[in-house]
Structure 1
Amino acid sequence: MSTATSPLEARPVSVVTLSPTPPAATRLQSLDAYRGLIMVALAFNGFGLAATARNYLKATPDSGFWQAVLHQFEHVEWAGCGFWDLIQPSFMFMVGVSMAYSYLKRQREGHSWSRMFGHAVTRGIILAALGIFLISNSRRTTEWSLMNVLTQIGLGYPFLFLLWGRSLRTHVITAVALLGGVWALYSFFPHAGIDVAKGAPNVGVSASWAQANLADVKPAWHKNANVGHAIDTGLLNVVTRPEPFVFNSGGYQSINFIPSLATMLFGLMCGEMLRSGRTPRRKFVLLVLAGIGGLAAGTVLGWMGVPLVKRIWTPSWALYSTGWCCLILAALYAIIDLRQWRAWSFPLLVVGMNSIAIYSMGMMLRGWTAKTFQTHLGDDVFKVFGANQAPMVQATAVGLVFWLVCWWMYRRKIFLRI
């Protein structure tokens, strides 16, 4: 995610007061819960578990438990997958699922195709602009970067709309073309790769990092030495910048929006299936099968030399991460929509129905909120359970403040949408 971090459902930016909350029967409540689950993870900053794990590993570096926690709650360095790496694919996937419902509703309200397309283009522009605005927070000048999750969604959203309402066959062919085209773009780029033994310090890749993370990776997929990096060094220097763009420290690329469009398309396909006339049990089974198929396809591509790299959204990553998204949604669908066990999901729904609001708070107010706690309760307020647990206490306290704001908005039927 760049760093992961966004949502989302869309409609022109407005703060609206709704009379009753839309009845459960008109919404896919499991999707709201899924969105809420991801937003809680982000707003609570992973409950500070990554920083807490690092604290414990300083004293006990061989602790398998804390190594596992750290792996799940921070992005992997390059190839591989942990829970934290599934945040951005979940956003992308849910955008597609939501589209299957939202534009059908607009169509039934009498909106013409051209009006809906104009709305999709507007939404894409607003999301991209909001992403740039949020990542520029606290910086001296505008950060013209296209790697943020909101910006990536915005770039792909109008193209996703063009696929809305098309046949399953068209969707499958388009997904194959997108991922196959990305594979070809990377694989046949003539100047890819670095000397793993020496690294490439000029693009932020040290020799030790390269040897630890790129030894088994083909040159086409090397960090900051691939076609995506080459495009960005030209594209991102078109705008006036205080300093020329040389490389992205995380290895993220602007053209990630192309393969991530396939992730959104997979979500659209799942959304169309979920709103079909199939029985709920059949829908659950299809989601599970799609999840298993995505995991298997991504893994096989990885064995064939296309590594699972979220930071450049490799085709194998698009398939593998979609598999996990399908399984997560399937589990929530089975519990909430199939079994009707809904009461437990209320804390997630509060956030899931105001994802833009809590995402923006997390991006802009996390540091300020933590500092305010310390101003009024003392610098050691987060060390109540000891220094090692301080990151966990801080992240939970700050996240709870954001959740309470969303709860207040929910009770007053105020929903911020794009």
Structure 2
Amino acid sequence: PKWQWLALAVVLVGYWAAFALYPLPGPNFDYASAGATPNWPYNFTGFAAHWNKNTNLAWAFDRWFLNLFRSDKSFLFNGGGYATLSFIPTLGTMILGLIAGGWLKGGGTGWSKAGWLALAGVAGLALGIAADSYGICPSVKRIWTPAWTLFSGGWCFLFLAGFYAVMDVMQLQTWAFPLRVVGMNSIAAYCMAALIHPFIVGTLRTHLGSDVFKVWGEAYEPLAIGAVVLTVYWLILFWMYRRGIFLRI
């Protein structure tokens, strides 16, 4: 529906304009109190500086909004640069999902649907990269900038087009069983990733030794941890899959 495209444009352009119109830090700005530094190597310059960490509109909003609640300590900044207002551009990501779902449920051949998804993916990537490259809007995942919304959405469209073409149009589905086990219990997967990761790592280190993940060297320890924890997650999800246990909202 046209209203979805209109809503997407309002969200992304409106959020972009709000950041663009928020003034840049003045010469007397107290960077230390914002957890920022003017010489940080990852700071943007020029127009893109409107999206710099902890000197942007979303940071200013949090410094006002979060201090409305009673607390023993005043909120000054988030060390990672995360912001409450980031929920607004993520609405754009959700709308892109609605659009994709509408295409899949609509008429037309399977190949035409896959084609439209792929075309949308290329367009999203092109717009996101162009906005970032020309300094119109930097692509920053942590605050979910409009450019990042388009860029990440483009990749999602491309992956969806590929999976849809292979699994639904060509009916080549057997290979995807490991993915299906996760996808059918995605809520459980998200909860496990948020709640039991430290427990799994700690338990394995307790019983197998503190250096168990350094078997290929310290440089590869994070990779080893990720692979082992992911395997444990999958085995739990497989157990749930075999017993028909699926978390739903």
Q: Using structure 1 for the length normalisation, give the TM-score.
A: 0.56
Q: Matched residues in 1 for 2:46 and 2:202: separation?
A: 44
Q: Matched residues in 1 for 2:25 and 2:117: separation?
A: 38
Structure 1: unaligned runs, 5 residues or longer: 1-167
Q: Matched residues in 1 for 2:242 and 2:207: separation?
A: 28
Letter in 2 for 1:261: L
Alignment of 1:144-223 (within 5 A): 168-189=1-22, 191-193=23-25, 200-209=31-40, 211-216=41-46, 218-223=48-53
Q: Matched residues in 1 for 2:143 and 2:180: separation?
A: 31
Q: Matched residues in 2 for 1:232 and 1:239: separation?
A: 11
The answer to whether the 8 A contact 1:192-1:222 is kept is no
Structure 2 CA distance for partners of 1:316 and 1:349, relative to 1, 3 Å: same
- CA RMSD, aligned part only? 2.0
Alignment of 1:22-171 (within 5 A): 168-171=1-4
Match of 2:186 in 1: 355
Match of 1:278 among 93, 96, 108: 108
The answer to whether the 8 A contact 1:179-1:259 is kept is yes
Match of 1:291 among 108, 112, 121: 121
The answer to whether the 8 A contact 2:36-2:55 is kept is no
Structure 2 CA distance for partners of 1:213 and 1:230, relative to 1, 3 Å: closer
Structure 2 CA distance for partners of 1:393 and 1:382, relative to 1, 3 Å: same
C-alpha deviation, 1:194, in angstroms: 6.2
Match of 1:233 in 2: 63
Match of 1:268 in 2: 98
Q: Matched residues in 2 for 1:185 and 1:403: separation?
A: 42
Match of 1:53 in 2: none
Letter in 2 for 1:275: K
Q: Secondary structure at the match of 1:205?
A: coil
Q: Matched residues in 2 for 1:390 and 1:258: separation?
A: 36
The answer to whether the 8 A contact 1:192-1:227 is kept is no
State whether structure 2 residue 241 is matched by structure 1 residue 414: no
Match of 2:73 in 1: 243
Q: Secondary structure at the match of 1:277?
A: coil
Match of 2:136 in 1: 305
Q: Matched residues in 2 for 1:387 and 1:224: separation?
A: 33
Letter in 2 for 1:177: V
Match of 1:165 in 2: none
Match of 1:383 in 2: 214
Match of 2:234 among 380, 403, 411: 403
C-alpha deviation, 1:250, in angstroms: 1.9
- The one-character-per-residue Cα deviations of 1:372-406 (angstroms, maximum 9, x if unpaired) are 11222222222223333222222222221121111
Q: Matched residues in 1 for 2:135 and 2:239: separation?
A: 51
Structure 2 CA distance for partners of 1:207 and 1:188, relative to 1, 3 Å: closer
Structure 2 CA distance for partners of 1:299 and 1:362, relative to 1, 3 Å: closer
Structure 2: unaligned runs, 5 residues or longer: none
Letter in 2 for 1:229: W
The answer to whether the 8 A contact 1:291-1:325 is kept is yes
Aligned pairs, number: 247
Q: Using structure 2 for the length normalisation, give the TM-score.
A: 0.91
Q: Matched residues in 2 for 1:354 and 1:300: separation?
A: 36
Q: Secondary structure at the match of 1:340?
A: coil
Q: Secondary structure at the match of 1:223?
A: coil
The answer to whether the 8 A contact 1:194-1:222 is kept is no
- The one-character-per-residue Cα deviations of 1:135-181 (angstroms, maximum 9, x if unpaired) are xxxxxxxxxxxxxxxxxxxxxxxxxxxxxxxxx21111111111121
Q: Secondary structure at the match of 1:379?
A: coil
Greater relative contact order structure (CA < 8 Å, 6+ sep):
1
Q: Secondary structure at the match of 2:67?
A: coil
